[in-house]
A and B are shown apart, each in its own frame.
Chain A
């Protein structure tokens, strides 16, 4: 999530942006938009929601840039925090948040590679992630898919590093429990 040595830091770009530098805003957007969009997409499973959330994140940055307090953490964590709240707000009460009932949980059959393409397996894992409770889903998305450190994920999720570790472990156990070895099950 950090800039390279050759590029201005987020803090420098933000100050320039506050001073009216459009190029600085553009650099910030291009630097953080992919991760924010990917996070919103994997959390919601909806491209439309992902786009709405991404827009809201950067509109918040444009309208209230001084809401970000550097002493609380990196700008990226602040932006992801906004995205997280926006996603959870949209998921609240929606069908996406509901845990699939028994018999409806997505499963992946292994050991029968001839019957399922790789893309179908990936899609099933994607749906399995969406079926996770939000508190487990977000740590999988932040750490495994957005490649954040435990520290960074903890800042976004507003919890301790230990909580991130335990939730991630539990989330992966839940995902693995959906991976059925067909050959072993069929014996």
Chain B
């Protein structure tokens, strides 16, 4: 008795490869787990979208103040010894920004940091912090980053 290479093995591996994957019965359960763990994101994304379509120069929407003027690098009420520090941009929407994208500075509740896994002091959750929002041509908020200031 001897062993020989068999092209049949490759053919059978091909058939095994084409077998359908096991059914995706877990999807509903996993999506429920996802929602259970991240309900606050929907509020934040909605709030930023609502802010994007605000027209006046300064509009108060659920505690959000939208400033349509170009982003300033230093807080007014001048503290010239401070240096602006920002986080990375967190994408909110995968759509294209277009050539007319804008960067606007807004104020958000500090609790928004939690939505992005950033550390925050829970006792200060209601305070306002600065954030830069990228608005696409259609006014949809595409990305956000958070701004803070540190001593030089």
Which residues of A come within 8 Å of B, CB atoms? Answer: 8, 12-13, 15-22, 24-26, 29-30, 33-35, 37-38, 41-42, 47, 50-51, 54-55, 58-59, 62-63, 65-66, 110, 118, 121-122, 125-126, 140, 144-147, 172, 175-177, 179-181, 184-185
> Which B residue sits closest to A62, measured CB to CB?
B34
Q: Determine the chain A residues whose CB is within 8 A of the CB of B24 once the complex forms.
A: 29-30, 33-34, 37
Give A137 to B16 CA distance when docked, in angstroms.
14
Q: Determine the chain A residues whose CB is within 8 A of the CB of B84 once the complex forms.
A: none
Is the beta-carbon distance between A29 and B30 smaller than 8 angstroms? yes
Is the beta-carbon distance between A110 and B93 smaller than 8 angstroms? no
Q: Determine the chain B residues whose CB is within 8 A of the CB of A62 once the complex forms.
A: 30, 33-34, 37
Q: Which single member of A24, A54, A145, A181 contacts B16 (CB below 8 Å)? A: A145
Q: Counting CB contacts under 8 A, is B21 at the interface? A: yes
Give A17 to B5 CA distance when docked, in angstroms.
48
Number of B interface residues at 8 Å Cβ cutoff, please give it.
42
A19-B90, A184-B4 known; A125 vs B31 contact (CB < 8 Å): no
Q: Counting CB contacts under 8 A, is B40 at the interface? A: yes
| Segment 72-130 of B: residues with Cβ below 8 Å from A | 90-94, 115-117
Which residues of B come within 8 Å of A, CB atoms? Answer: 1-6, 8-9, 12-13, 15-17, 19, 21-22, 24-27, 29-31, 33-35, 37-42, 44-45, 90-94, 115-117
Q: Which single member of B3, B13, B40 contacts A180 (CB below 8 Å)? A: B3
A-B residue pairs, 10 tightest by C-beta: A20-B41, A34-B21, A185-B1, A37-B22, A15-B91, A8-B94, A20-B38, A38-B21, A125-B12, A144-B13
Is the beta-carbon distance between B94 and A12 smaller than 8 angstroms? yes
Give A110 to B11 CA distance when docked, in angstroms.
13
Is the beta-carbon distance between A54 and B8 smaller than 8 angstroms? no
In addition to A33-B26, A62-B37, A177-B3, 10 A-B residue pairs with Cβ atoms within 8 Å of each other are: A16-B92, A19-B90, A22-B34, A29-B31, A37-B22, A54-B22, A62-B30, A121-B8, A145-B16, A184-B4
